[in-house]
Amino acid sequence: MLFQRVNRTDAEKVFGIYTSAAACAADQPVSLDVTTNVDGYHIISTLAANLDCVIGVADAAFTAGAVGLVQVYGYRGTSKCLITDTTYAAGVKMVPVDAKSYLAYAAAADGRDGFFAVMASLTSSSASRTASAKIFIRCL
């Protein structure tokens, strides 16, 4: 794990070093691989089988077999979030979505933990799309 040094200008961030079992894009949520490489350090995109094993957001794009950083805690200025026809206030929880490379709003009744929270409101869009959003990550 890489812990950011304490300073007065940047929020705390923690990164883990993982190997990607499959290619994934920068800023997308990733999970531990619980199907092929069950060893605790291989990651894959979020799938139904591993939604509860989400570990954070890929800091940069991964190719299959590559080693890289995953942000597991702290403020992140970029992430992939689904924007819909609803405006979401800052502080709402976001969760990974089965077989998608983005986070989406989590209704209170869905029973899933909120490992991610939006730091600034997400403005509605007439057509659903993904956009970069500021989030706070709590996967550590």
Buried b (16+ CB within 10 A) or exposed e, 70-102: bbbbbebeebbbbbbeeebeeebbbbbbeebbb
Could you tell me the residue ranges of all domains in the chain? 2-72, 80-138
Across the range 109-125, mean pLDDT stands at 76
pTM: 0.89
72-109 pLDDT, tens digit per residue, is 999 999 999 988 888 888 888 888 888 888 998 877 65
Altogether, the residues listed in the chain come to a count of: 140
